[in-house]
Amino acid sequence: MLVGLDVGTTAVKAIAIDPDGSVVARAEEPYALSTPRPGWAEQDPGDWVRAAERVLTRLEARDVGFSGQMHGLVALGADDAPLRPAILWNDQRTAAECAEIERRLGLEQLIALTGNRALTGFTAPKLLWLRAHEPEVWERIRSVLLPKDYVRLKLFGERAIDVADASGTLLFDVAARRWSEEMTAALGVPGEWLPPVSESSAIAGAGDQAAAALGVGVTGPGPVSIVLGTSGVVFGALERFQADPQARVHVFCHAVPETWHAMGVMLSAAGSLQWLRDAVAPGATWDELLAEAAAVPAGCEGLLFAPYLAGERTPHADPDARGAFVGLSLRHGRGALVRAVLEGVAYGLRDSLELMRELGVRPEVGRVSGGGARSALWREIVASALDLPLETTTTEEGSAYGAALLAGCRAGTFAGPLEAAQRCVRVGQRSEPNPDWTAIYGEGYERFRRLYPALRSARP
């Protein structure tokens, strides 16, 4: 069997598949997230390893592929033991370091070297933060790894990283698919700290979004991947490297050799809905809330939601962005709040899709995954807001499934990622844009685009 292991933010998830792609076993082990200060997010890397060991003992694992949360910094000493808790992708402490990186290199040069701008979630700013705030840790660093690669090292003794995950460090030449000597020199990061880099199919590993895209069959032009998880993602394959001039979307290496992808990320997608339930309806079930939302007309009679609860990446790159309901009236009840959240997230995804279209992505269909994709109402709202049909696939474990396919590539079960996706990815339900909603959402999106500048100007 082929096993895909996904080192996520809340749990390690593993699945086992047969050579035809059918899932034959699943296992999951949760762990805690630490927030020692506002805006910080950390985890004990040992928790990942222990969780991975437990799930693998439940599965007859011979060939294992890895996916995992991107960007996280695991700083290791001479004995390969972590020197401090890992700093995660959603940690926001490095705004000053990001500004310093862009000042030192200039935004145009930074984008030319890496295809991206400096964002608080990326790995390089975390290293600079350590140097400034924990110099005793910095002096003891002998190597750095990303989360899934630390687990790989501890389980199998292999020190490696794939091009997809390396792309999110801001130390990688994405166009040339190699570590950037220019970036390591400019930032004063020793190049010998970085692990050997390989194509995803060669070492059976990829960052979670590239693995998830492979897991839903996004290997080239045609479909795009749309993820309705805690964060929201729009992911489209590129046949050649092409960065957005303002780096409003990420451009990374894909898990398919010699291809790239553009990716827009919003930080609070299904996380916005979770927040709303926790805040105003902690005793309600998801079915109850979604039924109330379904009874509200499209457009919520003018109510809009800005989903910037944890800052934002695409298209605003603003860790200080904040959410809001705008247009509330006495007519708006709990169902309207829920529907406004569903629509606001859909508009945020459209922001990313519009930017990707500027890079030449011409989607025919969206392959939707994540916990939010289980809602037929939300799928129809997103399809209508994007004016794009959406398809689910028959397996929900996108990242772990993609990792299992990569395990098959390394083992020789598949000739490569393209054959793996063609053999194993199967389409499930399809949601068409609702013709009665598309015009309403077109107008709503234009209003939504004006929200962020207005909210920014109203900050204290």
Give the number of other CB atoms < 10 A from CB of residue 74: 25
The residue from 6, 63, 149, 208 that is catalytic is 208
Rounded to the nearest 10 degrees, the angle between the axes of helix 147-156 and helix 45-58 is 60
d(CA 82, CA 76): 4
Q: How many CB atoms lie within 10 A of CB 97?
A: 23
Q: Tell me how far apart the terminal alpha carbons of the chain are, to the nearest angstrom.
A: 56
208 flagged as catalytic: yes
CA distance 264 to 257: 21
What is d(CA 132, CA 57) in angstroms, rounded to the nearest whole number? 41
Query: What is the rounded distance in angstroms from the CA atom of residue 14 to the CA atom of residue 371?
Result: 16
Distances (CA, A) of 442 to 29, 213, 246, 274: 42, 27, 25, 26
CA atoms within 13 A on the CB side of 434: 15
The residues, ordered by sequence, that sit 6+ positions from 446 with a Cβ below 8 Å of its Cβ are: none
Report, as residue numbers or ranges, the catalytic residues.
208
